[in-house]
Structure formats: C-alpha cells, structure tokens
Amino acid sequence: LYAANIVVAGLVMLPSTLALGAVLPLVVKGLAPDGEARVGRVVGMAYALNTVGAIVGSFVAGFVILPTLGVERGVAVAALVSISLGVWLAWDRARLRVPALAVAAACVVIVIAAPRWDVRSWTAGLFRMYLARGVYADGWRPSGEVIYHRDGIATTVTVERELDGVGVALKVNGKVDASDIGDMPTQILSGLLPVMLHPRPADVLVIGYGSGVAPGAVLQAPVQRLWVAEIEARVYEAADTFFAHVNYEPRRDRRAVLAVDDGRNFLRTHQRRFDVIISEPSNPWMTGAASLFTTDFFEVAAGRLRPDGVFLQWLQLYELSTANVHTLIRTFRSVFDHVLLFTPDPMSNDLLMVGSRRPVVVDRSRIAALMAQDSVRMALARGGFDAPEDIVGLFVLDDARLEPHIGAGPLNTDDNAYIEFSAPRDLLIYSTVDAELPFVTALDGHRLEAVDGPRFVGFGPPWLRLAERLLWTGRLADVKMAIERARAVKEAGLPRIERLLRFVEGYDDEPVIIADKTTEGDDDYRRAAAAVLDQRDEDALTVADGAPGFADRSLAHRLLHAFLCYRSERFDEATEMFDKVVAEDEFVRRYPSSLYYAGRAILYNGEYRRGLALLEKFEAQTRPGS
C-alpha cells in the first residue's frame, strides 16, 4: 500500500515540482531579457513578489477557498487560474502560438469536464490498513450513503448513513469519531462519569464536540455552565444537523458556550478554572491528536482544574501497541496523583481515564441522587447504565493497582513526540488484532475487594443487588464472589441469581430442528438438519450459507441458520437473525428454545442486559406450571 502511495504521489507531484522550479528562472529571463545589467534588481523583485504571493496565496487557499469551495472545487479553480494566467501572459508578450493556445484550451476543458470525486472513497479512511486490505481483496464497496461533506479550515467532516438506513456516523478526515449506535456508551459515559464522581460539579469544559452527545449528556446534569472547545466549525454544523435526535441539542441550552478553538489554546488563553474537564480527541495516531496526550497538555489541563477538580481522558485502545498504551497511561499518571480507569462497557476497546490531584471517591449515594433526576437517569440508560452498581462492573483499575501493569518507561511529551511518531506504526502493525492488555482484565474476580477499599462507598450489602448488576455487565467471576457473600449473610433471592448464572455458563448441544409445513419438502433444510444431527455443524452452515434466501424462507429456516451462526461464533450475524425470530410472539410460544439460543448469542455478542432478559423470559415460559 505504501509503495503504491509513493509511486502515485511521485507521478502526481514530480511534473508539477519540475514546472514550478522552472518558474523563477523563466520570470527572471522574461523581465531581464537583454543582459545582466538589471538582473539583481529583477531577481530581488521576483523574490519579493513571490514571497508576498506565497503569504496571500496560502491565506486565501486555507481561509477562503478551502472553507467556501472545498478541496475539489478549490483545486479546479486554482488550476483554471494558473492556466488563465499562463495564457494571458503569453498573449501579453505577443508570443502566443496556436499550439500553446490549443493546449491551454484543452487543459481548461479537462478541468471543467473532469468527473466529480467519489466522496465515499475520498473519505473511506483507507489509511487504516484493514480497510485497505479489504478493498484490495474484495474491491471497493461503499459502507454507507454520504449525507454531509464539507471541507473545513482544520479538517474534512463527513456524515454517512448506513445503507440499511440504521446508524449515522461522523467522520473527521475519513476516521469515524462518533455515531448514534455503537459509540453511545462511550459518548454518554464520557460526559456523565466525571460529573458523577465530582462532589459539586458546576463548571465543565469539553474538548472536542464530536456528535455532541457527550456535551449534551453533561447538560442533563445540574451543572451551571458548559464550555466546549472544538477546533473545526464544520463539526458543530454536522452534529447539530444530523445528531440532534441523540445529542439533546446542546446549542439550544443557555448554559452552553460553544467555541471554535483548539483545546490547548483554549486552556492557555482562558484563565477560568473548571470543576470537570473532559478531553475526547481522536485516536493518538491521527494527525495532531497526539498533542492532546502529552504531559505538557495534561499539566495545562490540571492547572485549570479547581482543587477537587476531575479530568477525564478518552483513550482508544485499538490499533495501538501494548507499549504505547502503557506509555499513554503512564504519561497520564505522571501528572495526576489519583487515577481511576473505567471502560464504557465490558466489551468496549475504549478506556476512560479519570485523574485528579485529590482522591476520587465513587460514592453510591451521590450517583443515586443524580440518577433520581429523570434527565440524568434517561441519559445514562441510553449508555447502558441503569443503576449505581453498574459503575462497579465498568471499573478497571486504580493507581494503587496500576503500577505493576504499566511499569517504568518513557513518557509522551511535546519535546519527544513519542506517540506522534510511534502510534502510526501501530496503525499498520495492529490493523487486524488488538494488542494484549492484561490490565484490562486484572480486576476480574477481585472487584469486591476494590469495593471494600476507600475508593468505593456504599456499594454493599445487600450483595445480591450488586451481583445482579455485575451479571448484567458480564463480570461472572465477580458475580460468584457477590453470591458467596450473599449466601454467608443469608440474603433472600439467591435462587434467581444462581439460576440466571447457570443459564449464562451452561453449555447447549440440543439442535433446533423444526418439522412443520414450512420445512417439509425443503431439500436444503433437510440436508442442513441432517448435518446438524450428525454433529457436522460446518457442513450444515455451508448448506445454509449457500442456499439462496435460506433464512428468509420461514422462521424455522431463520432459527436454524441463526443457531448455526451462533455455534460457529458468528455472533453478529446470529444476533441479527435471532432478533427477527424472537419478535414473533406466536413462534416463540411454540418454540421457546428460540429464546434460549437468542439470549445466549446476544450474551456472547456482548449485550448482557438484552441477552439475560431473553433468558429470563425463557425461564419463565418453561417453568413448570407456566
């Protein structure tokens, strides 16, 4: 890929470079054709005019042409201006020849008649190697419909809607930075987690607007003022237009002050201090983003916090090496004396780093008081956070347990630009797999020990309340610890929790073969069912995958196909098919096992709440006497 980039860049730029290099000698010769008497003055004048032109040209290009016309039209206009100037100069010097005019006219026609750029491929983000590999292997297939595309002064902003109409994503320079589907837990918790951890949050700053969901979530809490620093005005425009259905429309809230400014510059030029600062830049390997992950930036931010202020940093763990993840956490830890790490949901590969100069206490009563407000409770529910105990399941580590995992090593500073230069290499090396990060699971089975410590207040007993919330976040080892504590004090309600845990941990080997009028006489179904009964799941799945419209023939077909995808660990596909099966109440009543397998598949797909709800429904439907 990079070899191809070099070749293409060379073919595009080398002729222009040679031509531009010839301009100054030709100008000098044109202005002083009769010898060397005036050459010094001519060269000086040419250089002076060139310098003025470079200053004016770069300003007009960056601050006028780019935001008003965009990259594509801007390039076309620049080409037409250059061609027109060349023709005019040749004509003015009375040296115009017909071939030259013909060439110029042909260039103008080419520029005007050239096909428009395909924005979907232009903003596809093929700098991400796994996307580029997919194009090389399978050809270019657009992932969505472009519904917004603008070139701003700082970045190019695109909004795409999925081709099935479900899901809208915001792209910055081709990189998806926000969406209204999978990113919701991260966006909601980024906004509300530090607010829940601060004793009296009044003034909040958010660096990076994104979809506007995080700032909108902050405004659901009783804060007095919210500032947002976003470097690109087009992000505001895109978010306010296409994410108003999920972001609570922060611009309409009188408490919000939205600035177009670089985050670091905002902190340096505003002397106000904040109770909470939330920094949610793009990935560290994106151009410019690494400067928001340095000790220098964290120190500036810490200096703008009030004494009990809380700082939250969103850190993306994917496409980064273990060493660089450790470096980023170590850098954060070097500035903030007290650090807590959370994940937006147990299956997320994002990290929410909370730092403060004073100890941060996770107080259940404080969180419960916030959640007593309908606006906060509803916002948190959209992020999968339904009870104060959920925060225990999202807790990863604190500074007391962090040191053995990240160890000693370099810090990321403005001077060494360590991440600026190493993270782009990770983008290539870790394009298909995530780095091993043992600290993410280090606390599994030990969360109740953390609850016993000074960081957490008011989370037990009753232990079954905590056990249920931990079960809904998939922390099974911690669920068992909570059950043991509940059993020791003889809390009521143990059988239900233990039954649900058995559902989650149980193994199933009963196939879902249905013989009715919808499957009778269907040779594809017969062959797939026979392979399943012979314990040849791969052969059965080959039949189901290869038979045209197999899942659409009936609910029985869809159930078998979903079951086979589930057994083959294709959980995304299984979940999608099971969703359509369990939506049919009559079919579910006749075949309750569909609830069981749907719940299991959805659990393995990381949606514990929804999966457990289906398992509970199965248990109720199959309970004796029901």
**Least confident span in 118-132, 363-377, 401-415, 433-447:** 118-132
Using CA atoms, how far apart are residues 196 and 361, in angstroms rounded to an integer? 10
State residue 98's pLDDT score. 58
Say yes or no to pLDDT of 97 above 60: no
Torsion, CA 189, CA 159, CA 209, CA 255, rounded to 10: -90
**Least confident span in 37-51, 132-146, 351-365, 430-444:** 132-146
Using CA atoms, how far apart are residues 34 and 45, in angstroms rounded to an integer? 17
Using CA atoms, how far apart are residues 487 and 494, in angstroms rounded to an integer? 7
Q: Measured in whole angstroms, how far is the alpha carbon of residue 14 from the centre of its chain?
A: 37
Rg (CA), the chain: 30
Q: Output the CA torsion sign for 192, 195, 201, 207.
A: negative
> Which range is most confident: 283-297, 321-335, 599-613?
321-335
Q: For the whole model, what pTM was predicted? A: 0.86
Q: What is the pLDDT of residues 482-540, one digit of tens each?
A: 999 998 888 888 887 887 787 777 666 566 788 888 888 889 999 998 988 888 889 99
Q: How confident is the model at residue 350 (pLDDT cuts 50, 70, 90)?
A: very high
Q: Mean pLDDT throughout 18-33?
A: 82
Say yes or no to pLDDT of 542 above 70: yes
- 276 versus 129: the higher-pLDDT residue is 276
Q: How confident is the model at residue 251 (pLDDT cuts 50, 70, 90)?
A: very high
Kind plus residue range of the DSSP H or E element containing 173: none
Whole-angstrom CA distances from 574 to 514, 518, 537, 570, 602 are 18, 21, 14, 6, 8
Say yes or no to pLDDT of 366 above 90: yes
State residue 262's pLDDT score. 93
Using CA atoms, how far apart are residues 257 and 503, in angstroms rounded to an integer? 49
Q: How confident is the model at residue 392 (pLDDT cuts 50, 70, 90)?
A: very high
Q: Are 198 and 354 in contact (CB under 8 A)?
A: no
Using CA atoms, how far apart are residues 285 and 415, in angstroms rounded to an integer? 17
Whole-angstrom CA distances from 328 to 40, 288, 320 are 55, 15, 10
Token pair in block for residue 42: 């001519």
State residue 170's pLDDT score. 94
Q: How confident is the model at residue 124 (pLDDT cuts 50, 70, 90)?
A: confident
Using CA atoms, how far apart are residues 548 and 621, in angstroms rounded to an integer? 34
State residue 256's pLDDT score. 95
Q: Measured in whole angstroms, how far is the alpha carbon of residue 406 from the centre of its chain?
A: 24
Say yes or no to pLDDT of 237 above 90: yes
Say yes or no to pLDDT of 197 above 70: yes
Token pair in block for residue 50: 């060139």
Amino acid making up residue 548 = P
Q: Mean pLDDT throughout 297-316?
A: 95
Say yes or no to pLDDT of 465 above 80: yes
> Which range is most confident: 123-137, 162-176, 366-380, 475-489?
366-380
Using CA atoms, how far apart are residues 70 and 123, in angstroms rounded to an integer? 14
Say yes or no to pLDDT of 388 above 90: yes
State residue 510's pLDDT score. 66
Token pair in block for residue 172: 């910055």
Q: Mean pLDDT throughout 554-581?
A: 90
Close Cβ partners of 506 (under 8 Å, ≥ 6 residues apart): none
Q: How confident is the model at residue 247 (pLDDT cuts 50, 70, 90)?
A: very high
What average pLDDT is seen over the chain?
88
Q: Which of 137, 146, 80, 76 is nearest to 118 (CA)?
A: 146
- 141 versus 323: the higher-pLDDT residue is 323
Kind plus residue range of the DSSP H or E element containing 278: strand 274-279
- Written in H, E and C, the secondary structure of 423-461 is HHHHHHHCCCCCCCCHHHHCCCCCHHHHHHCCCEECCCC
Q: How confident is the model at residue 389 (pLDDT cuts 50, 70, 90)?
A: very high
Q: Strand 338-342 vs strand 350-356: parallel, antiparallel, or unpaired?
A: antiparallel
Q: Which of 319, 286, 66 is nearest to 174 (CA)?
A: 286
- DSSP code string of 32-72: -TT-STTHHHHHHHHHHHHHHHHHHHHHHIIIIIHHHHHHH
**Cis amide prior to 461 (ω within 30 degrees):** yes
